[in-house]
Structure 1
Amino acid sequence: MTIPPAVAAARALVSDLVSRGVQDIVLAPGSRSAPLAYAAAEAAGSARVTLHVRIDERDAAFLALGLAKASEGAPVAVVTTSGTAVANLHPAVLEASHTGLPLLLLTADRPHELRGTGASQTTDQVGIFGSAVRFAVDVPAPGEREVADDHRDLRHVAARAVDAALGFRSGYPGPVHVNLAYRDPLAPTSLLPGLPAQEGYPKPDAPLVVPAVAQHLGSPALPGDATRTVVVAGDGAGPGARRLAEAQGWPLFAEPSSGATGGPNAVTGYRALLASGAVAEGIEQVVVLGRPTLSRPVQRLLGRRSVAVTVVAPGSGPWPDAARNAAVVLPGLAESWYEDAGAPASPFLEWWRAAGERARRVLDEVTSDEAVAGGPTALSVARAVAAVLGPEDLLVVGSSNPVRDLELVLDLDGPGPAVLANRGLAGIDGTVSTSVGVALAAARRGLRTRALLGDLTFLHDVGGLLRGPDEPPVDLEIVVVNDDGGSIFATLEHGALAEADVAASATFERVFGTPHGSNLAQLCAGYGVDHQLVKDVPTLRHALQAPSHGVQVIEVRVPRVDRFAETRALTRRISDVA
């Protein structure tokens, strides 16, 4: 049986990638990518990989992002055809780049003789993602050399791609782009039901081994006053940030998606406490882990010239220092920094603990069932979601207000769930698809996934609800906080201007508030997704505690008109108790 070169090459590539740890392939349909589609389907048919199909390339990429986020380091492949299909990957590629997630972008292309000729669906795909990818290669169309040589080169391309995506040598994982030219014919002469025993399907050689380079962890003398030091744990900081704070006796300011929340040193309401300049002046050193992005008060703290800032940033990628004030940047800290010295809590730590406890009481009061008896607020919804979830849950939280609300209430009712978020660029796009990807991967680990999203975030990626009948089943509850618009802008200077000026208020509503009036129940019905509208917090808690199956949307409507005044008043109340 003669196998077309494009088909044979695609099979060889997919087989090799599977041998290197790829567990999931997300495919968007297309013609030029047909060899990869057949190869992925055959691999899935033999249970070597899980195949996910989405009709929208943007949704496919964010689905892959979610799979990678919850797959504990396994690379995820995305397959597209040529043309605008490739460009639609770009938002997720940027997010993956800034959060260090290993995506393998397998984009089909026309052979070189058709490029620049006006051929249908042909554009310049080489270098399309610019500096957002860790590695990019343009693979010539197979068929001009011996098959063994083509396949040997593909194995080495795969080795380089996976190495770069996982950051084996650089310590800087992220997306990679493999652009694959294919000539007709693009289909096999017959379909293969499974890979291993099929004639003509190459059995992968032993993968080329690329050794990881060990990170050299320093043990320096930090530049600031150790007795007046705080730890800032941004997105992706990991549990080491909490260990460091507790071992050294330092207060911990942890973002929800840091992986470091909770514990005796975590300070509730730190963002509002820092709004008081007098409070911030008492800090003389900050140790930063992860990528802090949520808080303007934290960024102002990191920019203070009187504060010594130490950034712990493993790998060769750029380190977080938006204020351009870091005094020291380290690849890591020696293990001795994380060992508890047994010293009593310092007065500085005790002050921050007491301030956090006072902030906790304020937040408990404003989000109690009695306080929201007249109707839920966004903050009370965030608390209700966090309160019912435990260690067997994962929570995906949307950008804008939901993640900031969650930050304030996450630990009010005990240890909350693990939290994931797209904080690389902090955009709202693709969050539904990301949540589905997280849910698919988390289920393999016995975890249940929920999502907390704003209405604009939900609507922006409502197409992520679309799944074909043959797709792997997924259980996901999506809580949508619906205030009919973009309330995040009301908490910024735009909201202050709108409150002070009637004419500015009308402009604000049109270009920032963006009311939509959408009927979410009808949207969900069109996608075949269950929808429930809840009108109070006790009903929300009950809905979240009930068993779930499939994708379900729980909508909670909250007011937006007073968001600026409420946010300002809450910040003032918390800072006043500092």
Structure 2
Amino acid sequence: MNPSTALARILVDELVRCGLAEAVVAPGSRSTPLALALVAHPDVRVHVRIDERSASFLALGLARVSRRPVAVVCTSGTAAANFHPAVLEADESGVPLLVLTADRPPELRGTGANQTVDQIGLYGGAVRMFTEVGTPDPVPGMVAYWRSLACRAWASAMGGRPGPVHLNLAFRDPLTPDVDTGPWPESLEGRGGGGPWTARPGPFTAPAPFSLPDVERGVIVCGDGDYDPAPFLTLAELTGWPLLAEPTSNARRAGAISTYRHLLASPRLASGPAPELVVSVGRPNLSRQILAFLRRAERHVVVSAGALGDPAAGVPNAFSDPARTATDVVAAVSPPAGLDSAFPRSTDWSRTWRRAEWAARAAVDAVLDEEEALSEPRLARDLVAHVAAGSLLFAGSSMPIRDLDATMHARCGVRLVGNRGVSGIDGTVSTAIGAALAHQRDGGGAAYALLGDLAVLHDQNGLVIGAQEPRPDLAVVVVNNDGGGIFSGLEQAGHPAFERVFGTPHGISMERVAAMADLSYTRLEWATDLPKALLGEGLRLIEVCTRRSDGTALRRRIQGAVDAAVDEVL
């Protein structure tokens, strides 16, 4: 066996022993040993993509939903640089990735050799671990090195703060397994029984919870993140504190304040008493309103849960505090002492929020239901309401996630995800496809994505899937307002150069995009037709055409209706 093949096969075998089940490969010559080793392994489902950026975001989506590391492989040169946006998103959102970049051997670096760049530490501080693996040599000790390194990489990706790991692998010729350079000086086998070279430690000891003070004006804020929302829903029920849940927290269930975005922008509520205590978890950074609300709190307890901290340490090693108002950072919380679970507490504060929620909810729905033509906010509300329990919904990072935040009712049974770590436009189609593939491999139901037109155009290559590749059952619902709709509600909208520099009209129908990728296409205009349009199988595009100016005006009208309704009940 030649050294390059030996390294690739041992690395893949050891990663599978750790739990690797999915890998994404972007084609290239220098990465041949890894690609062939992955395709040959019966326990790895391999996905091939022609575009490295698409490949890396596909891996991100697979890893986000499956909650286990996914390997993504590329050749040397600019291929590795195209992984960088997905690595940044994985870092910020705590998604485990194994980034395996092939490289030229040291003797070719810095010589002007083709497809050679400096890949050492390419992703900087965005990775949990970087290793220059070194060129494979047929000497004793290599097998233990490679297998222990694979285990260390897996543990680093899955650690207290999950995220990307980068292994840079320099391969010398020959790159294909059919060239045998002689016997290996030691056994290539791993541990007996199929276990990993280095066993992972058992479960972390649960940290002692921080006992919350007993206050009336408490609030619970659930931001984006992959954590269990149940303790915070229970806390809200026991204390009577309002629970404000962003969509991708998956905590907007029965009892949550579904209209908090409008309520925090309402002058009547905003001018009322400040919260004595805010308990936040995840990344609460979707709206300016929530950040302003955090700044008003007398005390702010940040709970570092799931991917945001290492429970074994007792004190979290990472936490989200975008408003820089945290007074306490803890790993877990418990309700104030003395509360009776049989009698949820009702106070003036809790009753005020509940009355405001009822009034605002009715006001939002009344405005949205005035017309049957689908607006962007109504599409968001109706889409999440219509999908069946067990479904997955991927939300784009611009207006789709904000419209969901502003309009969706509280409900359970639907898992909402999105690229909220960096909230970039990169790779949203590919991430949604990866998320759907992982969701359905694990036995989940249908999958949907709500994206903007620019996000789809930015990642059209994500729709190009080879005939032999696994394909998801995914309906991609695209809001086409011919440009950058999010800017229409910001200060830039009044500038004379707005339309060219920020609006960026493109004039492209999603029907042409669907034709490019040979996908089924539906154009949707009326709200009553949404359930029918969502029917179907496979990867498909559903287009809803809107005007940016109409969406901006409608959102302002909704806020005005909420303000009036809140004034009336408070």
- Sort the Cα spacing of 1:341 and 1:218 in 2 relative to 1 into closer, same or farther, 3 A: farther
Paired letter, 1:424: G
1:165 aligns with 2:161: no
Partner SS for 1:562: helix
Residues 416 and 556 (structure 1 numbering): CA distance in 2 closer, same or farther, change over 3 Å?
farther
Q: Does 1:19 align with 2:17?
A: yes
- What is the alpha-carbon distance in structure 2 between the residues aligned to residue 151 and residue 286 of structure 1? 52
In the TM superposition, 1:427-446 aligns within 5 A as 427-444=424-441, 445-446=443-444
Q: By how many angstroms is 1:383 displaced?
A: 1.8
The reply to whether residue 419 of structure 1 matches residue 408 of structure 2 is: no
**Cα distance in structure 2, aligned partners of 1:422 and 1:215:** 30
Distance in 2 of aligned mates of 1:340 and 1:115: 66
CA distance in 2, matches of 1:363, 1:215: 45
Question: Separation in 2 of the partners of 1:92 and 1:227?
Answer: 43
Tell me the TM-score normalised to structure 1 length.
0.90
Question: What is the deviation of 1:56?
Answer: 0.6
RMSD: 2.1
Show the counterpart of 2:319: 319
Task: Report the number of matched residues.
Answer: 543
| 1:267 pairs with 2:257 | yes
Deviates more, 1:150-159 or 1:566-575: 566-575
Q: How does 1:136-215 map to 2 (within 5 A)?
A: 136-146=130-140, 149-167=141-159, 171-189=160-178, 202=189, 205=192, 206-207=195-196, 208-211=198-201, 214=204
- The alpha carbon displacement at 1:210 in A equals 2.8
Cα distance in 1 between the residues matched to 2:408 and 2:206? 34
What's the offset of the Cα at 1:116? Answer: 1.5
| Runs (5+) with no aligned partner, structure 1 | 192-199, 499-503
Match of 1:456 in 2: 454
Q: Distance in 1 between matches of 2:233 and 2:513?
A: 42
> Cα distance, 1:415 vs. partner?
4.1
In structure 2, the partner of 1:129 is 123
**Paired position in structure 2 for 1:226:** 215
SS of the residue 2:544 aligns to:
strand
1:78-157 aligned at under 5 Å gives the runs 78-146=72-140, 149-157=141-149
Shift of 1:96: 0.7
Q: Which runs of 5+ in 2 are unaligned?
A: 181-186, 310-315
Contact 2:2 2:179 in 1 (8 A): no
Match of 1:75 among 65, 69, 74: 69
The amino acid across from 1:372 in the alignment is E
Range with bigger deviation, 506-515 or 17-26 = 506-515
| Distance in structure 1 (CA, Å) of the matches to 2:215 and 2:52 | 49
Alpha-carbon contact 1:455-1:481 (below 8 Å) kept: yes
Contact 2:453–2:481 (8 Å) recurs in 1:
yes
Instruction: Indicate which of 528, 544, 567 corresponds to 1:556.
Output: 544
Contact 2:240 2:347 in 1 (8 A): yes
| Correspondence 1:374-389 to 2 at 5 A | 375-389=373-387
The alignment partner of 1:188 has SS state of coil
Contact 1:19/1:204 (<8 A) preserved: no
2:330 aligned residue: 330
Q: Distance in 2 between matches of 1:480 and 1:140?
A: 45
Structure 1 contact 376–536 (Cα < 8 Å) conserved: yes
CA contact (8 A) 1:218 1:334 kept: no
Deviates more, 1:254-263 or 1:339-348: 339-348
Residue 342 of structure 1: CA displacement?
A: 2.8
Distance 2:479 2:232 in 1: 30
Contact 2:211–2:334 (CA<8 Å) still a contact in 1?
no
Worse-superposed segment, 281-290 or 561-570: 561-570
- Distance, in Å, in 1 between the alignment partners of 2:166 and 2:340 is 41
For residue 229 of structure 1, what is the amino acid of its counterpart? G
Residues in 1 aligned to 2:188 and 2:24: alpha-carbon distance in whole angstroms: 21
SS of alignment partner, residue 221 of structure 2: strand
Query: In the alignment, is residue 518 of structure 1 matched against residue 512 of structure 2?
Result: no
Q: 1:196 corresponds to which residue?
A: none
Report if the CA contact (8 A) 1:383-1:406 is conserved.
Answer: yes
Q: Does the aligned pair in 2 maintain the 1:478–1:552 contact within 8 Å?
A: yes
**Could you say if the C-alpha distance between residues 488 and 56 of structure 1 is closer, same or farther in structure 2, counting changes exceeding 3 Å?**
same
Post-superposition shift, 1:522? 1.6
Is the CA contact (8 Å cut-off) linking 2:3 and 2:136 kept in structure 1? yes
Q: 2:464 aligns with which of 463, 466, 473?
A: 466
Asked whether the 8 Å contact 1:534–1:556 carries over to 2, the reply is yes
Among candidates 302, 307, 314, match of residue 294 of structure 2:
302
- Residues 515-545 of structure 1, C-alpha deviations (whole Å, 9 max, x = no match): 110121122111111111112111222211x
Residues 1:131 and 1:277: Cα distance change in structure 2 (over 3 Å): farther
- 1:248 maps to a residue whose letter is T
Shift of 1:250: 1.2
Determine the C-alpha separation between the residues in 2 that align with 1:435 and 1:408: 22
Structure 1 residue matching 2:122: 3-state secondary structure: coil
Please, which of 533, 536, 539 is the counterpart of residue 526 of structure 2?
Answer: 536
State the match for 2:312 in structure 1: none
Corresponding position of 1:52:
47
Cα distance, 1:29–1:144 mapped onto 2, change above 3 Å: same
> 2:83 & 2:126 partners in 1: Cα distance?
11
8 Å contact from structure 1 (residues 11, 202) kept in 2:
no
SS at match of 2:476: strand
Please report how far the alpha carbon of residue 494 of structure 1 lies from its aligned counterpart in structure 2 after TM superposition. 2.0
Task: Determine if contact 2:212/2:334 at 8 Å carries over to the other structure.
Answer: no
Distance 1:416 1:157 in 2: 39
- Partner of 1:124: helix, strand, or coil? coil
Q: 1:339 to 1:318 in 2, by over 3 A?
A: farther
Say whether the 8 Å CA contact 1:288–1:312 is kept in structure 2.
yes
Contact 1:13 1:154 survives alignment (8 Å): yes
Letter of the 2:381 partner, please give it: R
Q: Secondary structure at the match of 2:157?
A: helix
Return the alpha-carbon distance in structure 2 between the equivalents of residues 133 and 335 of structure 1.
36
Alignment partners' CA distance in 2, 1:182 and 1:534: 51
Q: Give % identity.
A: 45
Task: Give the TM-score, by structure 2 length.
Answer: 0.91
